[in-house]
Homo-oligomer: A and B are copies of this chain.
Amino acid sequence: MRESAVKDRILGTASRLFYDQGYHVTGINQIIEEADIARASLYNHFPSKTDLLLAYLDQTHKEWFMALDAYLFPLAEPRDKILALFDYRIQRQRRLKYKGCHFNKITAETCEDEQVFRRVKMHKERFRQYIRDLVAQTQHHSSLDDEMLTDALFLLLEGGIAVGAMFRSSDDAEKAKLIAEFFL
C-alpha cells in the first residue's frame, strides 16, 4: 500500500509553512489545523518536529533535482543547459514569491543541528557537481579554467537567489545570468 494520504498532507503542509513563515514560528498546532488532520496522526508519522524538518529537507532536495532534470531535459547543448539553470531558479523563485533558497533559509534558522547541516551541505555540493558536469561538456571561451568557471556560475546563482530574497525580486538573478553569458 502506498504512503498514506494523511502523511503526504502533513508533510506538504509543514513544508509550505516551514518555507513561507519559517521553521521556528510554525507550530505543530498550525500544521495540524491547516493540514486538517489529528494531532496523534502527526506524531504517529513523525515522532517529533525535528523529524518533520528532516523529512521536509529530504523531500525538497529530491523534488528540486527531479524538477531540474525535467527542466533541462529538452535542451541539447550543455551551454543552453547551463543558462537554463538560471531560468529554472528564477521561475521557481517567482512561483515561491522570492523567499529564497530553502536550504539557505533553514541554515539561517537552525545553526547547530548536525543532521540539518549535513543535508544542506549535501544539497549544495550536489548542485555544484551538477554545474561542474555541465561545464566539463562545454567548450567555453573563458579565461577561467573549468573549476573556477564552475565556482563562478555557482556563486552567481547562489548570490542572485540570496539577494533576490532580500529584495523580493528576480532582478539580480537575471543579472547573474547576463554575467554568466559572458563566460560561456
Contacts and interface: CB of A to CB of B under 8 A. Distances in A.
Interface of A: 20-22, 24-25, 99-100, 103-105, 107-111, 117, 120-121, 124, 143-144, 148, 151-152, 154-160, 162-163, 165-168, 172, 175-176, 178-179, 182
| Stoichiometry (number of copies) | 2
B111 A162 contact: no
A109 B109 contact: yes
Contacts of A99: 111
Contacts of A158: 159, 162-163
A83 to B, nearest CB: 16
Nearest to A171: B151
B166 A148 contact: no
A57 to B, nearest CB: 12
A25 B24 contact: yes
Nearest to A148: B179
Q: Which 7 interchain pairs have the tightest Cβ spacing?
A: A159-B159, A108-B108, A155-B159, A24-B24, A158-B159, A105-B108, A162-B162
